[in-house]
Structure 1
Amino acid sequence: MTAEHSPQPCRDSGAFQFQAAGSDLQLKPYLLEDATPTGAQIAAVLGFRPNQQVTVLHWFGTTLEDVRPDEVVDIRDGMARFIVAESDGAWRLAMDGQRLDWLARHISVSTLRQLTNIPSEFGIYLEHEDEPDELLDEGYRLDLQARGVERLASRRSTWKLNVQGEILTLHAPTIIVREALTQAGFNPDQGWHIYLKIEGQPKEVVGLDTLVDLRRPGIEKLRLTPKDVINGEGPSTLARAFSVLNIDEAFLDAKFPGWEAVLEGGRQWLLLPNHELPPGYSAQVVQLALELPPTYPATQIDMFYLFPGVTLSTGAQIPATEASAEIRGQSFQRWSRHRTAAGPWRTGHDNVKTHLALVDSALQKEVQL
């Protein structure tokens, strides 16, 4: 609460100037003839009455200290700053090891940043003893009475973005897609279908000029798929040597826009580009192949194939991956993984999408995720 009748600051060559603000931190100049006033005198200059419960805080460069009503402060240098507001006491916290007294039980992170002059590129963390420190949002309000003295620290913030398997560490919370591709080593003008993957949501189609806000919850990665290549004979087309179920086609178009249906030696292959593996493998992105039996979906899809073949990042071989299949002149590593009696193929329910869930489960199991 502010005073009912705050006087307008005036100038007098025989007076000493100081600055004061309320809890909104909007500083204004004031004058006093006394070079060493008490906390009560400072409150009176701002229009507070003696019977009001007023807290006066001395605002140094990055610290705050409570000034008692009878405590004397020195304002002769003309640089003194105070925060004055009606309050029934002061609450204490520590910011980067410095003590701060605040005039309310709650304080927002944005107010704390302004008080301590912490640059915007630094995050403010609540320190914990038995768990990781917590990065606080700007609008977060700390409860200074909840549990003793809150201890906070400022640290230069970093954000990570996965661009087609290349991990970028960024010091700003936003980035233009074009810049992200360039930093990850991709030519943005080569021609890409670009998708933003967000946890629990459908992929978003984005353009080179799209601004990606990394503070948005759930952002996982940017995925790239080459657009059709044009040569002197006209546009190239993706192989569609056999038809797939409507439900499979819709799923593949959404998740693997460059998918192909290839016939090789009488066998039907789905080739899925840019399939990302979980951490722990010798490669991050592979081409995934699934063999569709001629009687699919009455007959189950079994196993899966990777190109290039992978090992664990430790160099260890993976059991039941020794065999291979040649597709378009490339040797795909066969992963011999099969359904069990506890989880049989269900005609009318299972399809490419549900089989890929088993593929991902098998890949995660090997790295114990």
Structure 2
Amino acid sequence: MTIEHHEPPPDKKTTIEIAGLDLNFHDFPSDTTTPTGGKIAKVFGFTPEQPAYVFQWRDDGDLEELRTQEEADLDKGRKFIVAEADGTNRISIEGEGLDWPADTISGSIIRKLGRIPADRAIYLERTNEPDHAVADADVVKIKASGVERFRSGKPEVWELNVQGKKITSLTHVISVVDALTRTGFDPDAWIIILKVAGQPKRQLSVGDDIDLRTPGIEKVRLTAKDVNNGAARPAPLRDFALLEPDESYLDDLGLQWEIRVSDGNRWLVIKDFPLPDAYTAGSTTLALLVPPTYPQAEIDMFYCYPPVVRSSGASIPNTEATQAIGGLNFQRWSRHRGAIVPWNPLRDNVVTHLALVESALGREVGE
């Protein structure tokens, strides 16, 4: 009688999936349905001398360490993670605790381990401060003591106005390059100014990031770096000197400015000073009257040419008077400091007065 030998059907062969800490799994054959942690590490290419941590990633989502001689139950899952590490750190994802054999973990790995859908955001829980959003590309350093806790949630959308165009971000930090590229501007062709309510304007560089959580953040304004008719630009007037912090700040704005004496008065004149969107023009020439005894004497009011006009056509109170400066009639904005916060020569200067100017311009159009 002839005895026939049959190979097990292909779907009955034992195959396991093994990955490193990147969770990129590959199929490996197994000669047993109960492989030990040591055999799994060996199949993955580890030598007996290497400190291998082996975890079984069970079908129910749990991650359980598998010791060298401990046998795995493949009915609970056929995925294994093998890592060379000296120890583990405790983390929690969606309330489920697990040991992670590394000092760092990326957002994409957290998403895979927690089986978090792509339309949900990942947050690192924090006490006494807002939870920190973790992008897939972010790498989080796990603290040595305690438990780092991660959760998912509805993505928080952040907005930024770039030269009148609004963009959104799922993370609270956006790079200047990303913000300008997404709105169609060449980052290298513009002087970039960040406007925050109640603060002087701040010039940004191409390598900077913008934290969209900043209280009062309003917009990014752009001014062309090089616009001319081919003629050399005349040297700006410097008829007198301002304070060193004033001149440094004005240089950082990236706008043309000059200090001139006209009709016996000392003027700081800033060209192409940006205006809020609700005015008919995008910019104006701004002038400040600088007293001879500045900073002991305060800078008061400000002046615009051509006159600033609301897009709605509504009149602006206390701007009817004009002032001749260099042969041009500037519109005078009668805006003054109150008694609560008077001018302080030890604290106030051109920089703080420009913040008052921007606040006054914005208040008239509801910004």
TM-score range, shorter chain: 0.5 to 0.7
1:108 CA drift (Å): 3.8
Structure 2: which amino acid aligns with 1:134? H
Q: 1:316 to 1:128 in 2, by over 3 A?
A: farther
Mapped pair 1:240 → 2:237: yes
1:195 CA drift (Å): 3.7
Structure 1 portions without partners, runs of 5+? 1-12
SS in 2 for 1:140: strand
SS in 2 for 1:135: strand
Deviations 1:287-335 (A, max 9, x none): 4431123565564322334676589xxx9999x8455435634534321
1:66 CA drift (Å): 4.0
Tell me the distance in 1 between the aligned counterparts of 2:341 and 2:116: 60
Deviations 1:95-150 (A, max 9, x none): 4xxx7553349874414245457799985213679975421373324569947x94
1:18 CA drift (Å): 0.6
Aligned to 2:74: 73
SS in 1 for 2:139: coil
Mapped pair 1:335 → 2:335: yes
Structure 2: which amino acid aligns with 1:58? W
The 8 Å contact of residues 195 and 220 in structure 2, kept in 1 or not, is answered as: no
Aligned to 2:99: 103
Tell me the distance in 1 between the aligned counterparts of 2:348 and 2:128: 45
User: Would you say how many aligned residue pairs link Structure 1 and Structure 2?
Assistant: 328
Tell me the distance in 1 between the aligned counterparts of 2:189 and 2:37: 64
The 8 Å contact of residues 43 and 84 in structure 1, kept in 2 or not, is answered as: no
Mapped pair 1:43 → 2:30: no
SS in 1 for 2:250: helix
The 8 Å contact of residues 65 and 100 in structure 1, kept in 2 or not, is answered as: no
Tell me the distance in 1 between the aligned counterparts of 2:55 and 2:256: 66
Tell me the distance in 2 between the aligned counterparts of 1:90 and 1:293: 64
SS in 1 for 2:337: coil
RMSD after superposition: 6.0
Per the normalisation by structure 1, the TM-score is 0.57
Deviations 1:213-264 (A, max 9, x none): 558998x7754334565337x3454763843336344442233531244666
The 8 Å contact of residues 174 and 212 in structure 2, kept in 1 or not, is answered as: no
The 8 Å contact of residues 255 and 272 in structure 2, kept in 1 or not, is answered as: no
Structure 1: which amino acid aligns with 2:167? L
Aligned to 2:162: 163
Tell me the distance in 1 between the aligned counterparts of 2:102 and 2:167: 36
Structure 2: which amino acid aligns with 1:102? L
Structure 2: which amino acid aligns with 1:153? S
SS in 2 for 1:112: helix
Structure 1: which amino acid aligns with 2:40? L
Structure 2 portions without partners, runs of 5+? 1-9, 43-47
The 8 Å contact of residues 196 and 203 in structure 1, kept in 2 or not, is answered as: yes
Greater shift after overlay, 235-244 or 84-93?
84-93
Per the normalisation by structure 2, the TM-score is 0.57
Q: How do residues 194-273 of structure 1 correspond to structure 2 at under 5 angstroms?
A: 194-195=191-192, 206=205, 210=206, 223-227=221-225, 229-231=227-229, 234-235=231-232, 237=234, 240=237, 242-245=239-242, 247=244, 248-255=246-253, 257-261=255-259, 267-273=265-271
SS in 1 for 2:291: coil
Q: 1:354 to 1:91 in 2, by over 3 A?
A: closer
Q: How do residues 145-160 of structure 1 correspond to structure 2 at under 5 angstroms?
A: 146=146, 150-153=149-152
Mapped pair 1:304 → 2:305: no
Q: 1:324 to 1:144 in 2, by over 3 A?
A: farther
SS in 2 for 1:289: strand
Deviations 1:15-72 (A, max 9, x none): 512123465757565433444x3xxx442523699xx998742255x94454896874
The 8 Å contact of residues 122 and 157 in structure 1, kept in 2 or not, is answered as: no
Q: How do residues 277-316 of structure 1 correspond to structure 2 at under 5 angstroms?
A: 282=278, 287=284, 288-293=286-291, 296=294, 299-305=297-303
SS in 2 for 1:46: helix
Tell me the distance in 2 between the aligned counterparts of 1:47 and 1:353: 64
The 8 Å contact of residues 197 and 204 in structure 1, kept in 2 or not, is answered as: yes
Greater shift after overlay, 111-120 or 324-333?
111-120
Tell me the distance in 2 between the aligned counterparts of 1:245 and 1:53: 67
**How much identity, in percent, do the aligned residues show?**
28
SS in 2 for 1:335: coil
